[in-house]
Amino acid sequence: GILQHPDGTVLKQLQPPPRGPREQEFYNKVYDPDCCDSILLELRKYLPKYFGVWSPPTAPNDTYLKLEDVTRKFNKPCIMDVKIGQKSYDPYASVEKIQQQVSKYPLMEEIGFLVLGMRVYQVSSDSYETQNQHYGRSLTKETVKDGISKFFHSGYCLRKDVIAASIQKIEKILEWFEGQTQLNFYASSLLFVYEGLCQATTVRLSDVTLVEKRGVPKGLLSGGDVLECNNNIHVINSTENGKIEASVSKGLSKFYALHKKSCSKRHHSQLSLKVENLEQDNVWKSSTCIAQEHLNGNVLPQLEKVFYHMPAETKESANVEVRMIDFAHVFPSNAKDEGYIYGLKNLITVLRNILDN
């Protein structure tokens, strides 16, 4: 497994020959201080930073690759490892090795990727849900979309912001592969990391905002705004020319991220909302107390609409990393890595389907 060095890097033990020396040679080549190859210099953007090798004083014969800890900046990192490519064996693999690899996941050639594992922070329970490689190998063409979407679900809602950011990062890696013909990658992975502790920020909406149930009388509001009831909260549809701004306090982020603590103490999450009609300078102020018994009612779906289905341009950019890892089977080539490219394109297609549907 991966070990943590006191300086904040991670240590990956070198595998037995030829895999370990091959991976070390790959990192040495890409991170050579004298490297002037534009393809390799570009590739550095998509790898963990490499800090050479390290051996413990007590076992000088044990060699470790010293790498950047991609998860270090996250409070509650959600992590997924996806093997990319149509083949998980290299050109020099024996017949036995090929049969072994194909039997592990026969759909690899058709799907182009394999989920090796995931660890997802669940806001509702303040705990992690983990899936191992058997989970990924159980996914079929029909279930792979739902299987991967599990990684982007917080326990409350689908993190569409994270999916969109992940697609953008994979597309950058795809661009690199489309432009290079000197390396082929086998049994290599993409490491996905995102922040599971989502933070709510000021939200600007053109059509929908929330107001406290008892703060506004039923019926028509000034300017012709229609108030609709939806059990625990109300939704205001603004007039054609009206503009609505919703400023959401810290209490909302705590409602999402720290509600478990408040639930255990039988406290109520405080949600302050200010609604302004900028066109007419009318200010509606209200605050509401959302009881814990409403957590499974209609409040969460409404909050989900606001924070996960708002226009993309209003969203805070998601804190997401997508890095290439595992290079024990990288070989020189004089052609595009079509197997890896196929896997990347197929993965992007699946993620777009999750986002659209």
Sort strands 64-67 and 226-230 into parallel, antiparallel or unpaired: unpaired
Give the confidence band of 320 by pLDDT, cuts at 50, 70, 90.
very high
Alpha helices (runs of H) in the chain, residue ranges in sequence order: 19-30, 38-43, 95-104, 108-111, 133-137, 144-149, 160-178, 250-257, 259-264, 299-308, 338-356
Give the confidence band of 317 by pLDDT, cuts at 50, 70, 90.
low
Mean pLDDT of 317-324: 90
User: Considering only CA atoms, which of 148, 126, 130 is closest in space to residue 139?
Assistant: 148
pLDDT digits (tens, 9 = 90+) for 102-133: 999 999 999 999 999 999 999 999 999 999 99
Average pLDDT of every residue of the chain: 77
**In the chain, what is the straight-line distance between the N-terminal and C-terminal CA atoms, in Å?**
36
Residue with tokens 């953007």: 45
Which comes out higher in pLDDT, residue 323 or 208? 323
Domain ranges of the chain: 1-69, 70-198+317-356
Alpha-carbon distances, residue 127 vs 1, 78, 192, 260 (angstroms): 22, 11, 19, 10
Alpha carbon of residue 231 to chain centroid: 33
Of 67-81, 168-182, 249-263, 309-323, least confident by mean pLDDT is 249-263
> At residue 38, does pLDDT exceed 90?
yes
Q: pTM score > 0.85 for this model?
A: no
Q: Which pLDDT score is estimated for 92? A: 94
How many C-beta neighbours within 10 Å does residue 117 have? 16
Alpha-carbon distances, residue 212 vs 11, 273, 290 (angstroms): 52, 8, 10
70-198+317-356 CATH choice from 3.30.470.160, 3.40.1190.20, 2.102.10.10, 3.30.450.70:
3.30.470.160
pLDDT digits (tens, 9 = 90+) for 222-249: 343 333 333 333 333 333 334 333 333 3
Alpha-carbon distances, residue 13 vs 50, 53, 67, 230 (angstroms): 14, 9, 11, 56
